[in-house]
Structure 1
């Protein structure tokens, strides 16, 4: 079985996820980047921000792995978006109790 160094064909996927504002995009990036890839020898992930857009680039050894990694990432994004939608704006509007 070839090692990563011997592998010549990597598969790259870049996904751009727009958010309502730059703060939400930064929150999503911060939450998602805490989790490391389970197979770092086979998956490389780079997250970056372009204003209100979260940009995720995945490079994987196989197409199947690219699909699995992308699916897991999109599930995480969905959870972050639903959480922001449910709690983010509401908590920002409410004055803190002293």
Structure 2
């Protein structure tokens, strides 16, 4: 049974994160979407890749929750970007066994 009421007002926020190329944006999407939202009744997340952009759309039941979810998402994006910049080119040069 869902705890949301029919008159619940959803707050939606979308962000477009640019990457060096579409491949890096797709890697970021794959890495981030593995972690599901902790409260799916209060947070809806959609991740897509458009050219070299990772696009994230969040709908939440409260503005505070929108801020928290966006902050956590941006921290994850920061980690992915730093990891790609540190290991991306080397990882692409190493061929699988």
Structure 2 length normalisation: TM-score? 0.91
Structure 1 gap ranges (5+): none
Q: Secondary structure at the match of 1:25?
A: helix
CA 1:9/1:90 → structure 2, altered by over 3 Å: closer, same or farther?
Answer: same
Where 1:16 maps in the other structure, the secondary structure is strand
RMSD: 1.7
Structure 2 residue runs without a partner (length 5+): none
Q: Match for residue 8 of structure 2?
A: 8
Distance 1:77 1:12 in 2: 19
Partner of 1:55: 55
- For 1:12 and 1:51, the matched residues in 2 are separated by 22
Q: CA deviation at 1:52?
A: 0.7
Tell me the matched-pair count.
Answer: 96
Cα deviation 1:16-75 (Å, max 9, x = unaligned): 001000000000000000000011000000000101100000000000000000000000
Q: Secondary structure at the match of 1:45?
A: strand
**TM-score normalized by the length of structure 1:** 0.90
